[in-house]
Amino acid sequence: MTWFASHPLGVLLVPLVVAAMLGAFGRWLRPAAPWIALLGPAAALVTGAGALMAGESRVVVGSVPWIAVGDRVLAVGYRVDSLSALMLVVLGVVASCVVVFSVGYMRGERGWSRYFALISLFCASMAGLVIASGLVELFIGWELVGVCSFLLIGFWYDKPAAADAARKAFLTTRVGDAGLLLAMALIWTKTGSMSIDGLGRAAATLPPAVVTAAALLLFLGAAGKSAQFPLHIWLPDAMEGPTPVSALIHAATMVAAGVYLVARTWPLFAASPVAQGVVLVVGVFTALAAATAALAQTDIKRVLAYSTISQLGFMFAALGAGNWRAAIFHLVTHAAFKALLFLAAGSVIHGAGTQDLRQMGGLVRRMPATAVAWMAGGLALAGVPPLAGFFSKDAVIAAVMHRSPLAAWTLILASLLTAMYVARSTQLAFFGDSRDVYAAHESPLSMTLPLGVLAGLACALGFTATALLGALGATGGESISAAIVVPAVLAAFTGLATGWFVWAREPGAENAFPSWLERAWGAARNGYGFDAAVVRATVQPLMTLATLTYAFTDRIVIDGTAEGVSKGAGGIAEWLRELQNGDVHWYGAMTAAGVVVLLTVVVWLTRGA
Amino acid sequence: MSYLLTTIVFLPLAAAVICAMLPKDLAGAAKWVAATVMAFDVTLVGWLLATFDVRGGVQAVVDIPWVPQIAIRYHLGADGISLAMLALSALLGLIAVVASWKMDKSPGTYFVMLMLLQVGMNGVFVALDLVLFYVFWELVLVPMYFLIAMWGGERRSYASLKFFLYTLAGSVFMLVGIIALYLYSGPNNTFDIAELVRASAGGAFNGIQGWLFLAFFLGFAVKVPIWPLHTWLPDAHVEAPTAASVLLAGVLLKMGTYGFIRIALPILPVAAKAWAPWIAALAVISIVYGASVAFAQTDVKKLIAYSSVSHMGFVMLGIASGTAAGLDGAVAVMVSHGLVTGLLFLMVGMVYERTHTRQIAELSGLSSQVPAIGGILAFASFASLGLPGLSGFVGEFLSLLGSWQSTLVPHWMTVVAAVGVMLAAAYMLWMVQRVVLGEASEAVSRISDITAREVAYVLPLIGLTVLVGVYWNSLLRFVDPAVQGIVTILARVV
């Protein structure tokens, strides 16, 4: 394992080769495709675990000069420290579970080999992003995971909704990427380097305004990838992709890349209180608003999508409060329990044939294993002790409490809502009477086995807090104080109880709400109409501008002028035609005269030089 | 060694002569002549690449008097930038021949035109005497005019005339500029670029650089094309046959930006720096305007044509920056745009041959009916929108870095250009969604997938797109040393 840890490029090359193989020879490798596709996650897992065991002090770095630009050299390389190693482990574990789960879930799909090739390509890109030692390599991985996300959301490409969602996801995150590009340009101009190691020195020496600008541009990129307000609109739609993909890309790994980016470039944020403030406000607001939206969803996957946006908001809140280790801790536990919830939801969709919570009910009797897994994930998400989410969420809230009690209390409110939507969706899907799912059946072992693994992690990961934070270099275990735990746990149980009992009596309980609440409920269900407003505010004006520039500016103004000039010249041409009498000598004389005139003009124009 | 460039440049002329002399019933052999000669040409360029010393300055030089009375010299030579463009020109030339394999409308004349065009394209990038440069520059114009006018689509006469007049108008200004440079170049009047650079450093053009730069600017800007001189481009592209579109976008547009880099910047550095903010402004307008208009297109070919206006804006932005990163980026975009847009036009040509339409509304679901064609079109689209790991990213990225770094370009322009990167993703993906994804439309529902010949001529482009995108130095190690010379000249003047 130490060998793997000191040769980290395997995490990149193994899945890349696998992707190429499955892409080229997929037709012949059909039955073996998923098992070959496990090699990539395995490489990530072994390398990451090896590096973690080697201890915090050991950082494996390699770098080569990539290009010379004038007197500056742009180097690229890899860097495996405890942070990237941890991310590799997360990627390895979740991706392995997802690949195995897909064996059952994707059985019989057209494009089976393409699916596993894309998953492998995603693993390679994500690993590249994680082990990057400079911003350029990071950006390459960053964009490639975006493309994999595009191709996997649009996996069922003949479905218009899937193609729409894929494009929306790519374009919305690209808004953030423009920020990332500019951040790189800024850092390159000011320091002459793109190395992440160099950011510490840059933060210490550059003027505060430059550091803040760089940090905010980086955060714009992070907010796009991690679906933070106002760039969150793509994630709920991304649920059009196959559910295991949602678990891997849109819950555990790619969407967490924004959090990773901020943690990775931490020196810049550490030096800029303004940037931290912005991150905190955006994170807290997103955490609360997305939790309310999650409460009102009727599609089980959209509940989880908004929940993911909300939980990523928790992570950004921790970053904004200055504690990136707490953010990463929550990232790790969230990866486990949210991937678990998505896969459990996938199992439900597979077994019950619907994503609509209103049609489910009573599934605990027909799908007991799935139900247990879902509840383990749900309780972990709700922050019930001693499951994983309890520890990491309290670490986040404690961190934020140091910075801003108001923000911390907002997060506790968001936790209450989190517990409420967990209880609501659990109640609607698994308890009460079966409404429209009489044929539901438990999923095969290939699907329940990964659920078991992730459920174990969702229950146990919290106990690794000290080791995990220690590996990230935290000094002295921060004891969790009762002032945080008590309100947080109270909020969790209040939320669970409310959600449970309100929807236990009547699955359509929201229909009996007082009218003001019902209106708010409807708004929350549509994400407060924000998504539609953004689309209205961008797409239509853009199309109008496009038509205007084309039909008016290009065709009428520019071409009209040019053609007008040529028509004017046409009058002269009539006269000129008289001169065209076919006499070669005449032509020669005219040409000579023309050149003489031209030269005279030149000499006259440039006289006095 | 000194005959190498001459051979590379004029070998296609031999092919043109042979094709022209073929009797009518043997006209079908013209493509074999052209293909053989171009394959040989590409091999020679490959030899030159392999033996090129990247730090050795201008190489493979031949410099003999041509018209000694007025100091016109036959002076050819290649530095890293020339070589990159020459390689692009020869490769796309060969591909254009193979892609025209089924040309059955007077094939003899067609290949004569293609080969004459090739002489001009090759020559422009290695000419080091301004008169020679001008001769090659104008030589390109005529065959391209005929390629569009005789083998073009329905509006071919409008498009070809527009192309001809625009470019000719630009050239006249350039000619005036060339003659003026000669007249003011000092006691030993010269057309030689290197000597003109020396004369300029000695102060020969002080006080009139602005006027001279304007003359060259007009000549080059039409060719690039820079907004608002771009409207000939979409018409020419749409009407031109596939091979001509490939060469037009892949090589001819680069002649304009190459002119800036080879002539305008080093000979007129003071004016270049004074004009830089304005050129950058026009570049940024081209980027955003081209992208915006691309949204409104219903014809795939026209969409790609407008995307070219946008991409060439990144080249001009890099040139305006005057920094090493910006100029490296400019040349990288030139090469990448040649590869990627060439590939896009070839794919659209394949689709058109099969469906007889280029209307986006009539094309849908290519990937369900013809997965290979759909897949390669999607690949090219991702390369075009600047996906890292493919060639398009390298140049745009460096061009943005350079323009931010430059003291000549205001930061807000770089910000707007970065927004242009986003727009590129939007219109390309929207095209991919409508044409490649979805269910197969009627026009698409019965067509057959890519043939072996078609694979053969797109494969090199795909390979190079990946190679340059992954291993940037494969291109930049040639380009950067040459760029440094220009940056040094610019740095000397205030």
- Kind of pairing between the strands at A72-80 and B59-67: unpaired
Mean pLDDT, all residues of chain A:
85
Residue keyed to tokens 């004349």: B109
Nearest to B400 among A181, A549, A558 (CB): A181
Nearest to A158 among B293, B365, B480 (CB): B365
A69 touches chain B (CB under 8 A): yes
Nearest to A69 among B387, B421, B480 (CB): B480
Structure tokens at A199: 């950011």
Nearest to A147 among B183, B184, B387 (CB): B387
Taking only the tens place, the pLDDT of each residue in B383-440 is 999 888 899 999 999 999 999 999 999 999 999 999 888 888 888 888 888 888 878 8
Taking only the tens place, the pLDDT of each residue in B164-223 is 888 888 888 899 899 889 988 888 888 999 999 988 888 888 888 888 999 999 999 999
- Is A474 in a helix, a strand, or coil? coil
B466 touches chain A (CB under 8 A): no
pLDDT higher than threshold 80 for residue A123? yes
Nearest to A546 among B175, B205, B293 (CB): B293
pLDDT higher than threshold 90 for residue B45? yes
| Peptide bond preceding A507 in cis form (omega within 30 of 0) | no
Structure tokens at B192: 């030689």
**Residue to substitute from B212, B437, B474, interface A, most A β-carbons within 10 A:** B437
CB contact under 8 A, B404 and A189: yes
User: Which chain A residue lies closest to B232 (C-alpha atoms)?
Assistant: A559
More reliable by pLDDT, B446 or B312: B312
User: Which chain B residue lies closest to A177 (C-alpha atoms)?
Assistant: B422
Nearest to B207 among A139, A598, A609 (CB): A609
> Which residues from chain B sit within 8 angstroms of residue A171, using beta carbons?
422, 425-426, 429
pLDDT of residue B326: 93
Spatial neighbors of A374 by CB under 8 A, at least 6 apart, are A340, A341, A344, A345, A348, A426, A429, A430
For the segment B351-374, the average pLDDT, to the nearest whole number, is 87
Cα–chain center distance at B61: 23
Backbone phi, then psi, for A241, in 5-degree steps?
A: -75, 170
CA distances from A517 to A295, A452, B58 (A): 13, 39, 77
For the segment B10-17, the average pLDDT, to the nearest whole number, is 92
pLDDT of residue A593: 62
Instruction: Name the H helices within A431-529.
Output: 445-460, 465-471, 482-505, 515-525
First to last CA, chain B: 39
pLDDT of residue A190: 87
| Peptide bond preceding B388 in cis form (omega within 30 of 0) | no
Cβ within 8 Å of A, B 85-104 = none
Distance from CA of B104 to the nearest CA of A (A): 34
pLDDT higher than threshold 50 for residue A147? yes
CB contact under 8 A, A163 and B437: yes
Structure tokens at B75: 């002076």
Nearest to B211 among A157, A175, A606 (CB): A606
CB contact under 8 A, B294 and A546: yes
Return d(Cα A49, Cα B210) in angstroms, integer: 64
CB contact under 8 A, A158 and B422: no
CB contact under 8 A, A178 and B419: yes
> Which residues from chain B sit within 8 angstroms of residue A603, using beta carbons?
183
CB contact under 8 A, B405 and A185: yes
pLDDT higher than threshold 60 for residue B154? yes
**Residue to substitute from A240, A543, A554, A567, interface B, most B β-carbons within 10 A:** A554
pLDDT of residue B152: 82
pLDDT higher than threshold 70 for residue A599? no
CA distances from A574 to A302, A448, A561, B159 (A): 71, 86, 20, 22
> Which residues from chain A sit within 8 angstroms of residue B324, using beta carbons?
69-72
Interface size between A and B, measured as CB pairs under 8 A: 163
Beta bridge partners, B95, equal none
> Which residues from chain B sit within 8 angstroms of residue A552, using beta carbons?
none
pLDDT of residue A27: 77
Return d(Cα A232, Cα A307) in angstroms, integer: 12
For the segment B101-111, the average pLDDT, to the nearest whole number, is 85
Output DSSP code: residue A81: -
pLDDT of residue B132: 93
pLDDT of residue B444: 81
Whether residue A39 contacts residue A10, with contact meaning beta carbons closer than 8 Å, is answered with no
For the segment B97-115, the average pLDDT, to the nearest whole number, is 88
> Which residues from chain B sit within 8 angstroms of residue A598, using beta carbons?
172, 175-176, 179
Taking only the tens place, the pLDDT of each residue in A394-446 is 989 999 988 899 999 999 999 999 999 999 999 888 888 888 777 778 888 88
Spatial neighbors of A207 by CB under 8 A, at least 6 apart, are none
pLDDT higher than threshold 50 for residue B84? yes
Place A609 in a pLDDT band, splitting at 50, 70 and 90: very low
Spatial neighbors of B103 by CB under 8 A, at least 6 apart, are B31, B110, B111, B151, B241
Taking only the tens place, the pLDDT of each residue in B316-327 is 999 999 999 999
Distance from CA of B182 to the nearest CA of A (A): 11
User: Which chain B residue lies closest to A555 (C-alpha atoms)?
Assistant: B231
pLDDT of residue B141: 87
pLDDT higher than threshold 90 for residue A601? no
Predicted ipTM of the assembly? 0.83
Torsion of CA A327, A331, A332, A333, to 10 degrees: 100
CB contact under 8 A, A559 and B231: yes
| Peptide bond preceding B225 in cis form (omega within 30 of 0) | yes
Q: How many CA atoms lie within 13 A of B63 on its CB side?
A: 14
The helix (run of H) or strand (run of E) holding residue B321 is helix B300-321
Mean pLDDT, all residues of chain B:
90
Return d(Cα A450, Cα A399) in angstroms, integer: 33
pLDDT of residue B36: 93
Beta bridge partners, A63, equal A77
For the segment B447-474, the average pLDDT, to the nearest whole number, is 91
Whether residue A289 contacts residue A528, with contact meaning beta carbons closer than 8 Å, is answered with yes
User: Most distant CA pair in chain B: distance in Å?
Assistant: 71
A218 touches chain B (CB under 8 A): no
pLDDT of residue A74: 84
Distance from CA of A501 to the nearest CA of B (A): 44
Taking only the tens place, the pLDDT of each residue in A41-94 is 999 999 888 888 877 567 777 778 788 887 788 888 888 888 899 999 999 999
Distance from CA of B199 to the nearest CA of A (A): 14
CB contact under 8 A, B368 and A158: yes
The helix (run of H) or strand (run of E) holding residue A68 is strand A60-69
User: Which chain A residue lies closest to B397 (C-alpha atoms)?
Assistant: A181
Task: Based on DSSP, count helices (H) and strands (E) in chain B, helices before strands.
Answer: 21, 2
A184 touches chain B (CB under 8 A): yes
pLDDT of residue A575: 59
Residue keyed to tokens 């947080």: A488
More reliable by pLDDT, A570 or A35: A35
Distance from CA of B194 to the nearest CA of A (A): 21
More reliable by pLDDT, B341 or A360: B341
Return d(Cα B419, Cα B405) in angstroms, integer: 18
CB contact under 8 A, A606 and B297: no
Cβ within 8 Å of A, B 347-406 = 365, 367-368, 382, 387-389, 393, 397-398, 400-401, 403-405
A75 touches chain B (CB under 8 A): no
pLDDT higher than threshold 70 for residue A574? no
pLDDT of residue A357: 85
pLDDT of residue B54: 87
Distance from CA of B196 to the nearest CA of A (A): 16
> Which residues from chain B sit within 8 angstroms of residue A72, using beta carbons?
324-325
Spatial neighbors of A459 by CB under 8 A, at least 6 apart, are A376, A380, A387, A388
Task: Report the percent of chain A where pLDDT is more than 70.
Answer: 91
B483 touches chain A (CB under 8 A): yes
Return d(Cα B74, Cα B83) in angstroms, integer: 18
CB contact under 8 A, A181 and B421: yes
> Which residues from chain A sit within 8 angstroms of residue B403, using beta carbons?
185
CB contact under 8 A, B421 and A550: no
Distance from CA of A555 to the nearest CA of B (A): 8
> Which residues from chain B sit within 8 angstroms of residue A542, using beta carbons?
292, 295, 426
Task: Report the percent of chain A where pLDDT is more than 90.
Answer: 35
Instruction: Name the H helices within B125-155.
Output: 130-151
A597 touches chain B (CB under 8 A): no
Instruction: Transcribe A398-435 into DSSP letters.
Output: HHHHHH-HHHHHHHHHHHHHHHHHHHHHHHHHHSS--S
